[in-house]
Chain A
Amino acid sequence: MVAAADPEIWRAGSDGSPTKSALAGGPPVEFRFKTDDTPQTIDANNPIPIPAAGFNYSFWVHLALAYSGTFTQIDNLRWFTDGTIGWTLGTAGEVRRGNRDSGDHGCDELDYDIATGTIGTSGDDIDDGVNGHGFYEGETVATIDVEGDISGAPATIQTGPVTAVESSHAVVLQVKVDTDATQGTQSQETFTFRYDEI
């Protein structure tokens, strides 16, 4: 059978053992960057405030694929955007993903790090030396602007192969907001998972 694949969010739980929430077809809306660890709950609670100085961050979000059905193998999982994020995040603001200096950029379930920060104010920077994401902080280039991940040059999340029903490795995303950002609900932006399957 051709494999089924549903995007899912990892959150809460504990390090190495996340709670998984399916990202189903909309409506309702299913994914929002916030300053708490409930990206699957779409409400106006805990938005990312515009900082007076420095940067504010969303709590990071683990985004993966839940494979199901029957298949022989899945490999070469990649992820990309359309190359332009039209959100008004300020001069140095961006939507970023966790990045590894070498190898796959996706985070295995065992390397899941629960999102932390100050609720209502800012999440911890993925690259924070003390409270950052354990799988990425310390890398020479720990985060990458997702505008650089495009169809012709996608980010390799998991080379694979995957041969059983399970979750893929996750791309870890975070929003960074600069002092000159513009407030308000942001526009719809698409992203794509791409993989090989047989």
Chain B
Amino acid sequence: MKAIGLERALRISTETGIPIFTHFWFVKYRNGKAIAQFNPQDYHEVFWWQAVARPHLLRRKVRAEDYHKGRFRRDIERLAWLPLSRKMAKELRKREIPGISIVFETLMMKLSRGDIPYMRREVEVKSSFNLGVRLRYVRSYKVGKNVGTDYEIKESMKVLEGIELLPKA
């Protein structure tokens, strides 16, 4: 499938060091509300920790340290990696973020109350001893719960496997 905007995404990735990606994360809570990685109005990005961490004291805003200290919201219902639409990818590229719309698979996981959320992008930075960095891209997306415990469940979705469309030297 032709990836519209791939050449521009490659250029942006080379200039910024940000890997090319195809999906964004999405978190849904039990009260029906949800948060996406990118605000659909202005494409402002939300940090992952902002979506899943729980403040130590409920009267203050959540902080990154809440995430790093393992304090997670207990009302997360679903985690999902959703594919970028062509419009969304184009809007991101306008903002010098190398998104492309190339596949339409979704990866999702349902959480029970109190499950510890887990999501990761698996990134590859391909380089050469002779020619320097050639390519940066998100190879696969991972979702899971309670990772590192006896109750771990983890799934992954491979999207880009060693794409060979390298910029010419």
Chain A residues with a Cβ under 8 A of chain B: 1-7, 23-27, 29-33, 65, 68-73, 163, 186-198
In the assembled complex, the CB of B85 is this many whole angstroms from the nearest CB of chain A, namely 17
A23 to B136, CA, bound (A): 13
Residues of B within 8 A of A187 (CB): 130
15 A-B pairs with CB atoms under 8 Å apart are A1-B45, A2-B97, A4-B18, A5-B123, A5-B136, A23-B132, A24-B132, A30-B131, A30-B132, A65-B125, A72-B67, A73-B68, A190-B127, A196-B121, A198-B48
Residues of A within 8 A of B67 (CB): 72
Interface of B, secondary structure class, is strand
A29 to B134, CA, bound (A): 11
B132 and A29 contacting across the interface, CB-CB below 8 Å: yes
A7 and B68 contacting across the interface, CB-CB below 8 Å: no
Residues of A within 8 A of B134 (CB): 25-26, 190
B126 and A190 contacting across the interface, CB-CB below 8 Å: yes
In the assembled complex, the CB of B117 is this many whole angstroms from the nearest CB of chain A, namely 10
A24 to B125, CA, bound (A): 12
Q: Which residue of B lies closest to A190 (CB)?
A: B128
B128 and A191 contacting across the interface, CB-CB below 8 Å: yes
With contacts A25-B167, A192-B126, A194-B139 taken as known, whether A2 is within 8 angstroms of B121 at the C-beta atoms is yes
